[in-house]
A = this chain, B = another copy of it.
Amino acid sequence: MTFTPASAKTLTADEISSMLAGELCGSSDAVFGQVQDLKVAQANEVAFFSSKPNEMGQHPSDDDFQAMHGSKAGLLLIDKKCPPPSQCHIKVENSGLAATIMAQFWQSRRAAFTAGIHPSAVIEDGAQVAASAYVGPNCVVGKNSTVGADCILYANVVLYDNVHLGDACVIQANTTIGSDGFGYSWDGQQHQHMPQIGGVRIGRGVEIGANCCIDAGTFEATEIGDGCIFDNLVHIGHNSKIGRFVIMCGQVGISGSATIGDGALFAGKSGAAGHLHVGAQARIAACAAVMSDVEAGQTVAGQPAVEIKLHQRMMATIRRNARR
């Protein structure tokens, strides 16, 4: 492996168990310095296994359990309800989170970034970049924009004028924030562009993937709430207000002036039309096209998106009819 370790400090099984407030079962003389995949981990590495269903609702298969039992990892992190393996292990509430915490301790490449602005980056007049932020090669920070403490901007990120990033945001490469919103009026001869001067306001701890586009608002800022996480190639139209901790998977698109409630989840390639509201904690299935308001907590699917049980009955009916 070729990363710069976040911490070279190795830990004993006991120390790890304390860090995670877990319950250590069995013993190990080894010291550990890395989390690794269950199938390739060795005696001096930590691996994890989740007996809970994954984000797609799939339970681990018999093969998965067998992989756990056959793992050569010196230390396993498992959920409390998981049938205990013979290897030395630590029982924790959430084994995925526990592994994340240990990986952040040992192997976060983000920790390797030195604060500062790469000499090739362009910081325009009136822009403010926190001293603890990292701004990578060929980034552009437009006029009067701000980059908060501990932010990481990977290479070639473009922030237009009047874009504000809260603290601890991470923006992957080639992403564009603050581009002109898509607002035009036809004058009988051509489309006239409505100036878009509202900028973008992004909260704390927001993570945005590569090659995403977030447009500036017309008068007021387009807003992305604290703790949102967006995957690659996501599009957010102008004037949209995205709540806190919203999850958007790859290639999601949100049209202009939509409001999205806290904790909503958009699966891959789904989207929402403009001027509508998606309630808090709503779940939008992959490829779903939201064309009208979605209630808080509702799960929808299909094009146009409908309540998921209805969608499933619709699909089952079509399939049955086609087979007759």
Contact = CB atoms under 8 A, between A and B. Distances in A.
Contact of A273 (B185, B268, B275): B268
A66 interface: no
A94 B192 CA distance: 12
A104 interface: yes
Contacts of A253: 233, 250-251, 268-269
Interface in A29-47: 35-37, 40
Interface in A171-218: 172-176, 179-180, 182-187, 190-197, 199, 205, 207, 209-213, 215, 218
Contacts of A3: 161-162, 197
B271 A269 contact: yes
Contacts of A249: 182, 255
Nearest to A1: B197
A196 B110 CA distance: 10
Interface residues of A, number: 115
Nearest to A142: B155
Given A170-B180, A235-B251, A249-B255, 18 more contacts: A4-B143, A40-B219, A96-B185, A100-B184, A104-B192, A104-B194, A109-B196, A156-B174, A182-B209, A182-B231, A182-B249, A182-B250, A211-B213, A213-B233, A233-B235, A237-B250, A304-B315, A314-B318
Contact of A275 (B54, B231, B274, B316): B54
A114 interface: no
Contacts of A179: 154, 172-173, 209-210, 232
A233 B209 CA distance: 13
Given A120-B122, A122-B138, A170-B180, A190 B162 contact: no
Given A110-B195, A122-B120, A235 B237 contact: no
A229 interface: yes
Contact of A219 (B35, B120, B140, B304): B35
A108 interface: yes
Contacts of A319: 306, 310, 314
A67 B195 CA distance: 22
A302 B287 CA distance: 11
A286 B219 CA distance: 26
A268 B268 contact: no
